[in-house]
Amino acid sequence: GMTAIHWAALKGHEQVAEMLLDVGAVELLDVPDAAGDTPIVLAMRKKNRYLVMSFHKCQLFQFLFGRPHLSHNHFANLFVGFIAFNIGVFALVLAPGIAASHPGTVLWWSLLMSLSMMLWVQNCFADPGWLQPRTIYPQHHLLGDDPARAFDAEQPVESQMVHYDSLLQDMAGDGGDLAKLEQEQNKYNYQRQLIREARKRLEEGTGRTTDGAPIPGLELQPLIGGNAELGRQQLERAAMTLQERERATGESLGRARVEKLLGLGCGEYLTLVEKGDFKQVCVVCRARRKMRSHHCK
């Protein structure tokens, strides 16, 4: 088992890794997967120097500033560096030599540079901008104080379900009906995972899949117990009952989410989604944006 940041480091998906780091994956850079490898080790093994440097930089910034980055892209940092170099050269080299003979030039240059910096600051705090907080919501409240404790590399799915269920129980008291329905849905997801694991163990024990076909390599193994068919039937009944409960809970949860969005003033978003006009909306922050291609990236 591995986390999403492990997978991104293994596959070399730099943009995915940056997005995960923004929402809290920086806390998982020292967490090993089932093979004992951290995301930094996986990136080094793939010889992806950019990811390795990015991981170390995010760890340093997280320690110093409490966030994995100062700006959302490298162009902002380069722009600040070039502007500082330009101002330094003009103020220390050019301006002292021409200030007496051409004071107007020095004054106009300083004024234009100040206007450029004001425009740059305005763009930084725009949406989307370089400094404005992104609308991809952080997941720190889901990671908890110790992300390594909430993730078991041997049982990644089960450990995450148990951890998330405990968090939902704490939030259900303040979240109303929606939080309770989400907690119930998460419970059904956990039960479905248990049924899937039970089927897998039953297949490994009997040497046959759920449709009766033999599993290659297990033809010579003796049957374990004589109630395999009974166990399979029980699992089928449990799966059907669980599916009915999930369907009913899903309908109630959908209505509750629609009511919450309407209460938040997202009626236009719901209308566009129902029409299938996904190009006009942002499914991350649930809003309509003019610059859709640059939003929530």
pLDDT for position 45: 93
CA distance 14 to 49: 11
Cα–Cα distances (Å) from 5 to 9, 12, 58, 87, 116, in that order, read 6, 10, 13, 40, 38
CA distance 30 to 39: 7
pLDDT of 217? 40
Q: What is the rounded average pLDDT for all residues in the chain?
A: 77
Closest CA to 22 of 93, 92, 90, 71: 71
Long-range contacts of 196-201 (CB under 8 A, 24+ apart): 197/158, 198/231, 198/235, 199/232, 199/235
pLDDT tens by residue, 249-270: 888 888 888 888 888 888 888 8
Enter the tokens of residue 273: 């989604």
Quote the DSSP letter at residue 26: G
- For CA atoms 10, 16, 22, 24, the dihedral sign is negative
Architecture of the domain delimited by 4-71+135-143: Alpha Horseshoe (1.25)
**pLDDT for res 185:** 83
Residue 69, φ and ψ in degrees, nearest 5: -155, 165
User: Which one is predicted more confidently, 252 or 208?
Assistant: 252
Q: Which DSSP helix (H) or strand (E) runs through 281? A: strand 281-282
- CB under 8 Å to 239, separation ≥6 — which residues? 192, 195
User: Under a CB-based contact definition with an 8 Å cutoff, are residues 168 and 183 in contact?
Assistant: yes
What pTM, to 2 d.p., does this model score? 0.49
For residues 193 and 179, is the Cβ–Cβ distance under 8 A? no
pLDDT at residue number 213: 47
pLDDT of residue 198: 84
| Each residue's pLDDT tens digit, 149-195 | 666 666 666 666 676 666 666 655 555 677 778 778 878 887 888 88
Q: Is 2 left (phi over 0), alpha (psi -120 to 50) or beta?
A: beta
In sign, the C-alpha dihedral spanning 177, 251, 240, 201 is negative
pLDDT for res 56: 94
Pairing of the two strands 281-282 and 287-288: antiparallel
List residues bridging with 214 in a β-sheet: 208
Note if the bond before 32 is cis, omega within 30 degrees. no
Tokens for 16? 């995915």
Asked whether 148 and 25 are in contact (CB, 8 A), the reply is: no
> Distance between CA 32 and CA 44 in Å, rounded?
14
Give residue-wise pLDDT tens across range 41-78.
Answer: 999 999 999 999 999 999 998 899 888 887 766 677 78
Residue that the structure tokens 């759920």 belong to: 210
Tokens of 85: 């170099």
Lowest-pLDDT range of 9-13, 89-93, 173-177, 271-275? 173-177
Q: Which SS3 state, helix, strand or coil, does residue 71 take?
A: coil
Q: How many residues does the chain have?
A: 297
Predicted local distance difference test score (pLDDT) of residue 286: 65
Percent over 70 (pLDDT), the chain: 67
pLDDT for the residue 164: 66
Residue 201 has a pLDDT of 82
Query: How far is Cα 123 from Cα 132, in angstroms, rounded to an integer?
Result: 9
